[in-house]
Amino acid sequence: MAEQQFADAANSVRRPEKGSSEWAQAIAALVVVGGLGALVLSGIFQQDSGDPEPAACHSSDETRPSKPVSGAQLCMALNRADLPALLGTPTEYAMNASGNEGESTSADGTKSVSPEAEVQLDTYSVKLSTSDDDVAVADMADFLGSSAQTRTMDGHPAVLYSDRTIALTFTGDKIDTGPGGIARSLLVARDPKDGGGFFEVSIWRQDDVVPDDLALLRVAETVLPTVPGWTAG
């Protein structure tokens, strides 16, 4: 079987052509974005039917919303009509949009929920997530590598940094992993006092080109003030 390569940043899943197999239409892309090592599975493809329509948010978490914001709410905030324009690709549209919530259990038995949303366009994919971590964002730059840059967004401490995604290569029944493209991410404290908790916006491209920081900043500055739990500066 011919080798097919998929990656979140380098070769993220694209809209399947008519007549593609059910497997090709349902395959999910795996991405590792951010110094915190978040794992994201993309949602479900829209099918081709006449003129393309932007994807609506797909979520399996409506019955289990986290507080103060759910994955479904993050998806609604991120999947804006002007998202393509904010990314600098105004003629594109959302091919896939999903909101999910991952649950983890710490060593002491404490359970935590991590809401996240992802929207995929032809050129870019965008992820929005939130965390209740009690570490101040201003103190996180040292953990995010030499590329990390401290910033301020609307009075909120923020950190801009890079990470590399993971590429998946399918050869027959074998799956290999390797380095993918570059993702650019912005961590922003939930409130100006930086008392714990943050939002993270990440973008990566479907090719090997480094994402545009201005696109990332435009998305963050427009989307984050609309998310529940955001405190104005």
Identify the pLDDT of residue 51.
55
Please enumerate in sequence order all residues whose Cβ is within 8 A of that of 85, keeping only pairs 6 or more positions apart, or say none: none
Token pair recorded at residue 159: 């950190």
**pLDDT of 81-106, one tens digit each?**
999 999 999 999 999 999 998 776 76
Across the chain, what does the average pLDDT equal?
Answer: 76
pTM for the complete prediction? 0.74
Instruction: Indicate the pairing of strand 4-7 with strand 156-171.
Output: antiparallel
Range name among 15-19, 60-64, 66-70, 110-114 with the lowest pLDDT average: 15-19
Token pair recorded at residue 157: 């401490």
Task: Report the percentage of the chain scoring pLDDT > 70.
Answer: 70
pLDDT band at residue 232 using 50, 70 and 90 as cut-offs: confident
Q: Do residues 168 and 176 touch, judged by C-beta distance below 8 A?
A: yes
- HEC profile for the chain? CCCEEEECCCCCCCCCCCCCCHHHHHCCCEEEECCCCEEEECCCCCCCCCCCCCCCCEECCCCCCCCCCCHHHHHHHHCCCCHHHHCCCCCCCCCEEEEEEEEEECCCCCEEEEEEEEEECCCEEEEEEEECCCCCHHHCHHHCCCCCEEEEECCEEEEEEEEEEEEEEEECCEEEEEEEEEEEEEEEECCCCCCCCEEEEEEEECCCCCCCHHHHHHHHHHHHHHCCCCCCC
User: Alpha carbon of 33 to those of 116, 162, 181, 187, 233: distances in Å?
Assistant: 12, 9, 10, 12, 27
Positive or negative, the CA dihedral 132, 138, 141, 147 is positive
Token pair recorded at residue 52: 């393309």
**pLDDT of 186-215, one tens digit each?**
999 999 999 888 999 999 998 878 999 999
Please enumerate in sequence order all residues whose Cβ is within 8 A of that of 163, keeping only pairs 6 or more positions apart, or say none: 32, 33, 34, 35, 145, 182, 183, 185
Task: Report the percentage of the chain scoring pLDDT > 90.
Answer: 43
Counting Cβ atoms within 10 Å, is residue 172 exposed (0-12), middle (13-18) or buried (19+)? exposed
Identify the pLDDT of residue 7.
37
Q: Which of 219, 233, 183, 194 is closest to 78 using CA atoms?
A: 219
